Amino acid sequence: MSIHIEATPNPNAMKFTSDRMIFEGNSSISVMPGQTSEHDILNDLMKLDGVDNVFGFQHFITVNKKPDVEWDLLTKQIEETITSYGY
């Protein structure tokens, strides 16, 4: 299992893609500050210091960070969280 990380046109967003299906179906899932989801993986990502919101669809999760946070440490924490769920 591996996670592929790629930049997006938004400098505050990164896309984390798995080689396995994370979310079944054709509906996307967004979690904004103050919200929770039925998907524990998204709730755990929202708990990371510096994460602003998350968006998930099938094989990927896009994480938006707060503007004053650097990707260096946050990327590793996000990847560890996703891989802890077996992706």
Domain ranges of the chain: 3-84
What pLDDT, on a 0 to 100 scale, did the predictor assign at position 23? Answer: 97
Which residues of the chain have a pLDDT value below 70? 1
Largest CA distance in the chain: 34
Mean pLDDT of the chain: 96
Which residues lie closer than 8 Å to 84 by C-beta, 6 or more apart? none
pLDDT in tens, 53-62: 999 999 999 9
**What superfamily does domain 3-84 belong to in CATH?**
Scaffold protein Nfu/NifU, N-terminal domain (3.30.1370.70)
Note the pLDDT of residue 1: 62
3-class state of residue 11 by DSSP? coil
| pTM exceeding 0.85 | yes
